């Protein structure tokens, strides 16, 4: 009980710190919305025959939700936990009675809440500006995909801190991991424009699987509950691998 | 005698080939402000980080508040406060929020408002940490270490890089901790800081303690000779002063005056002879100075080796 209230205490401060950091707010909250507006403006009136004639704007809603969740979880944690480590904040936290997992839990909780907010914002913008349908009947699949994906990408974010040597390198390494995967996985470019070989390569990485799970949950052509258990399984396995790497190699003290 | 708060016997630590700590023995008593003084790379931070539970040791016995810091427990962490060598603050939080955050980690924290007063940040309580001056940041750092109401406080180089006025303010604050009944272990490479703040000082050099005493007695300062210096006009015969001190050195000073330096264990007797001699011969002596060995002389003598 004490630990739960401590985790909430940490979460509250993680929220404050997040919303007061202009870089966090821009890259996590505003940039995904900007991407949506830009892509929708460029490709807005097209339809994708390969996906049952779905509108490109409708395609981009789950794509940008995927990007926004990955930004709020993996990118956000890889950057901000690395900076906290290099600034000595993690080391200082270890010198207090606070259990280490609570320290991480507050930040992971913050990332998951931001993810949920972004999902709602992007979905609402899609509805209001582009008449992209809100998938009310597949809400459980959307929620499960969000929770599994956000948790997995949080673990991957913590794992990435292991390979980031300094705060200067944090942004470069994180972008080098995410940007190519966004392109290859059909987040930035509709997947009918991407060669089959590239897509099957991207299938080895969790961004593509996470997007496919969201796409099925959002697509108006989906029949049934919209759960992509296979894709979610792949995402979860990646998350577990990240969890184990972080558990084994995570550092609390500055590296540089 | 009271149980020591910190007890160290034969502490050793190496990094690869480098022996950072080479057998340190030390006791820190309750309510004592104890300074570990030494140049950069002497092993100060390594020693303190072993005591704080951040580093493991290669050899020796260590007890901090009755616990081996190699196996820290949350209950033990409740009782210690740590200020790291580098200032570590969350720049986006205000002074008050930073203290509230850390206060939440402890069972019986001090009142946040009281801590703000202790570190003298009343006027900055609602300023974000990023807006504070270097000295104010460091005081918030100390406030964070105090908010859990620890029995023992570690301060690793609390004033490095400060301007003199910020250093004075920090010293007043640390001196104020004495009234709270805290035990403080402080590291520094400023002799003056150790002299002003500490009840006892250990000088460490190359991983060993080379002197340990009160600032007053350190390095047998009372046994060291006093230096008397003065100048006399050029061409003065010095026959009457032969052999009065341990050393009699002469150098050419300004305007061709002769600068004389005498090192003596009996300054009263010698001063009397010098002034009597000057009055008898009608000599005008200038820039007369009597100087006891400073802690700095002792420190440099001990750590230069």
- On whether the CB atoms of residues B87 and B145 are closer than 8 A, the answer is no
Could you say which of B75, B90, B106 has the minimum Cβ distance to residue A17?
Answer: B90
Token pair listed for A247: 């558990």
Alpha-carbon distances of B86 from A245, B134, B185, B197, B213, rounded to whole Å: 28, 11, 16, 20, 28
Residues of A in contact with B88 (CB under 8 A): 87-89, 91-92
Q: How confident is the model at residue B240 (pLDDT cuts 50, 70, 90)?
A: low
- Total domains in the fold of chain B: 2
Position B302 in a domain:
no
Given its phi and psi angles, is residue B243 left (phi above 0), alpha (psi -120 to 50 degrees) or beta? left
pLDDT value, residue A207: 97
Residues B234 and B196 in one domain: no
Position B300 in a domain:
no
Q: How confident is the model at residue A49 (pLDDT cuts 50, 70, 90)?
A: confident
Give the pairing type, strands B247-252 and B258-264: antiparallel
Which of B105, B107, B138 would best serve as a mutation to test chain A binding (most A beta carbons within 10 A)? B105
Give the pairing type, strands B152-156 and B80-83: parallel
Q: Which of residues 76-105 of B touch A (CB under 8 A)?
A: 77-78, 80, 82, 84, 86, 88-90, 92-93, 97, 101-102, 104-105
Contact: B102, A96; criterion CB under 8 Å: yes
Q: Which contacts of B248-257 are long-range, i.e. CB under 8 A and separated by 24 or more positions?
A: B257/B231, B257/B232, B257/B233, B257/B286
- On whether the CB atoms of residues B202 and B209 are closer than 8 A, the answer is yes
- Total domains in the fold of chain A: 1
Q: Which of residues 195-254 of A touch B (CB under 8 A)?
A: 253
Residues B141 and B243 in one domain: no
Q: Note down the domain range covering B240.
A: 224-294
Is B75 touching A (CB cutoff 8 A)? yes
Least confident of A149-158, B153-162, B254-263: B254-263
Mean pLDDT of B62-68: 96
- The ipTM is 0.91
Position B304 in a domain:
no
Is A6 touching B (CB cutoff 8 A)? yes
Residues B249 and B264 in one domain: yes
d(CA A59, CA A70) in angstroms, rounded, equals 17
Mean pLDDT of A150-157: 98
d(CA B123, CA B138) in angstroms, rounded, equals 15
Position B1 in a domain:
no
Has residue B296 got a pLDDT over 80? no
Residues 6+ apart with CB under 8 A from A68: A28, A32, A115, A118, A119, A121, A122
Residues B130 and B105 in one domain: yes
Which of A10, A19, A97 would best serve as a mutation to test chain B binding (most B beta carbons within 10 A)? A97
Mean pLDDT of chain B: 87
Has residue A38 got a pLDDT over 60? yes
Residues B119 and B201 in one domain: yes
Is A15 touching B (CB cutoff 8 A)? no
Work out the number of other CB atoms within 10 angstroms of the CB of residue A211. Answer: 28
**Residue for token digits 């002063």?**
B241
Q: Note down the domain range covering A123.
A: 2-249
Position B25 in a domain:
yes
Could you say which of B75, B88, B92 has the minimum Cβ distance to residue A21?
Answer: B92
Has residue B250 got a pLDDT over 80? no
Q: How confident is the model at residue B144 (pLDDT cuts 50, 70, 90)?
A: very high
Which of B92, B100, B110, B185 would best serve as a mutation to test chain A binding (most A beta carbons within 10 A)? B92
C-alpha torsion sign, points A101, A104, A106, A111:
negative
Has residue A60 got a pLDDT over 60? yes
Position B299 in a domain:
no
Distance to chain B for A70, nearest Cα, Å: 23
pLDDT value, residue B229: 84
- Higher pLDDT, residue B51 or B295: B51
Backbone angles phi, psi at B155, to 5 degrees: -125, 110
Could you say which of A16, A96, A97 has the minimum Cβ distance to residue B97?
Answer: A16
Has residue B246 got a pLDDT over 60? no
| Sequential DSSP letters for B35-70 | EEE--TTSSHHHHHHHHTTSS--SEEEEEETTB-TT
Q: Which of residues 111-150 of B touch A (CB under 8 A)?
A: 128, 144, 148
Domain boundary among B188, B205, B220: B220
d(CA A161, CA A170) in angstroms, rounded, equals 8
pLDDT value, residue A44: 74
Domain boundary among B220, B244, B272: B220
Has residue A122 got a pLDDT over 70? yes
Position B88 in a domain:
yes
Residues B162 and B50 in one domain: yes
d(CA B203, CA B263) in angstroms, rounded, equals 25
Q: Which contacts of B269-276 are long-range, i.e. CB under 8 A and separated by 24 or more positions?
A: B270/B228, B270/B244, B270/B245, B271/B228, B273/B241, B273/B244, B274/B228, B274/B230, B274/B241, B274/B244
Has residue A244 got a pLDDT over 90? yes
d(CA A192, CA A198) in angstroms, rounded, equals 11
Residues of B in contact with A20 (CB under 8 A): 92, 128
Position A256 in a domain:
no
- On whether the CB atoms of residues B119 and B85 are closer than 8 A, the answer is no
Q: How confident is the model at residue A91 (pLDDT cuts 50, 70, 90)?
A: very high
Q: How many CB pairs under 8 A join A and B?
A: 57
% of residues, chain A, pLDDT over 70 = 100
Distance to chain A for B108, nearest Cα, Å: 12
Mean pLDDT of B110-116: 96
Q: How confident is the model at residue A228 (pLDDT cuts 50, 70, 90)?
A: very high
CATH code for position B246: 3.30.70
Residues B18 and B42 in one domain: yes
Token pair listed for B42: 């002497």
Position A180 in a domain:
yes
Residues B31 and B146 in one domain: yes
pLDDT value, residue B215: 85
Residues B154 and B278 in one domain: no
Residues 6+ apart with CB under 8 A from B100: B112
Which of B53, B80, B84, B95 would best serve as a mutation to test chain A binding (most A beta carbons within 10 A)? B84
Range A83-97 burial, b when 16+ CB lie within 10 A, else e: bbbbbbbbbbbbbbb
């Amino acid at each position: 009980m004490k630990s739960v209230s401590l985790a909430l205490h940490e979460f509250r401060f993680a929220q404050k710190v997040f919303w007061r950091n202009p870089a966090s707010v821009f890259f996590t909250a505003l940039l995904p919305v900007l991407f949506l507006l830009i892509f929708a403006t460029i490709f807005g009136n097209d339809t994708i025959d390969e996906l049952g004639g779905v509108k490109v704007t409708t395609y981009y809603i789950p794509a940008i939700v995927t990007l926004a969740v990955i930004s709020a979880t993996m990118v956000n944690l890889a950057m901000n936990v690395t900076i906290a480590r290099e600034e000595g904040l993690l080391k200082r936290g270890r010198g207090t009675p606070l259990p280490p997992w609570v320290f991480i839990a507050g930040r992971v909780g913050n990332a998951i809440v931001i993810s949920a907010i972004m999902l709602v914002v992007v979905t609402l913008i899609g509805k209001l500006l582009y008449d992209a349908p809100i998938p009310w009947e597949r809400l459980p699949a959307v929620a499960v995909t969000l929770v599994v994906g956000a948790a997995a990408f949080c673990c991957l974010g913590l794992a990435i801190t292991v390979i980031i040597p300094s705060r200067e390198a944090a942004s470069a390494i994180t972008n080098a991991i995410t940007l190519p995967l966004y392109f290859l996985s059909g987040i930035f470019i509709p997947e009918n424009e991407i060669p089959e070989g590239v897509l099957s390569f991207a299938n080895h990485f969790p961004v593509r699987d996470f997007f496919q799970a969201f796409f099925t949950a959002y697509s108006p052509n989906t029949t049934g509950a919209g759960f992509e258990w296979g894709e979610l399984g792949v995402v979860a396995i990646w998350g577990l691998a990240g969890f184990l790497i972080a558990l084994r190699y995570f550092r609390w003290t500055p590296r540089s | 005698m009271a149980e020591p708060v910190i007890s160290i016997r034969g502490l050793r630590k190496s990094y690869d080939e480098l022996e950072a700590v080479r057998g340190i023995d030390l006791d820190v008593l309750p309510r004592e402000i104890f300074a570990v003084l030494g140049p950069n790379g002497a092993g100060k931070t390594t020693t303190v980080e072993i005591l704080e539970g951040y580093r493991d040791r290669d050899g020796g016995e260590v007890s901090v508040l009755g616990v081996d810091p190699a196996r820290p427990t949350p209950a033990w962490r409740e009782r210690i406060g740590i200020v790291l060598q580098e200032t570590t603050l969350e720049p986006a939080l205000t002074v008050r929020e930073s203290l509230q955050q850390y206060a939440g980690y402890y069972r019986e924290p001090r009142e946040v408002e009281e801590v703000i007063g202790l570190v003298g940040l009343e006027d900055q309580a609602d300023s974000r940490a990023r807006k504070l001056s270097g000295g104010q940041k460091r005081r918030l750092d100390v406030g964070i270490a105090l908010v859990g109401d620890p029995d023992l406080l570690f301060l690793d180089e609390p004033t490095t890089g400060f301007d003199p006025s910020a250093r004075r303010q920090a010293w007043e604050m640390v001196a104020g901790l004495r009234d709270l009944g805290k035990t403080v272990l402080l590291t520094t490479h400023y002799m003056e800081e150790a002299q002003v703040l500490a009840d006892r000082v250990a000088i460490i050099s190359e991983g060993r303690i080379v002197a340990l005493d009160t600032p007053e007695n350190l390095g047998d300062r009372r046994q060291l000779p006093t230096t008397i210096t003065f100048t006399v006009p050029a061409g003065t015969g010095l026959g009457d002063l032969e052999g009065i001190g341990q050393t009699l050195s002469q150098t050419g000073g300004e305007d061709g005056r002769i600068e004389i330096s005498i090192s003596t264990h009996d300054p009263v007797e010698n001063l009397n002879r010098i002034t009597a001699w000057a009055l008898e011969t009608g000599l005008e002596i200038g820039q007369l100075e009597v100087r006891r060995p400073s802690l700095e002389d002792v420190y440099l003598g001990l750590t230069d080796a």
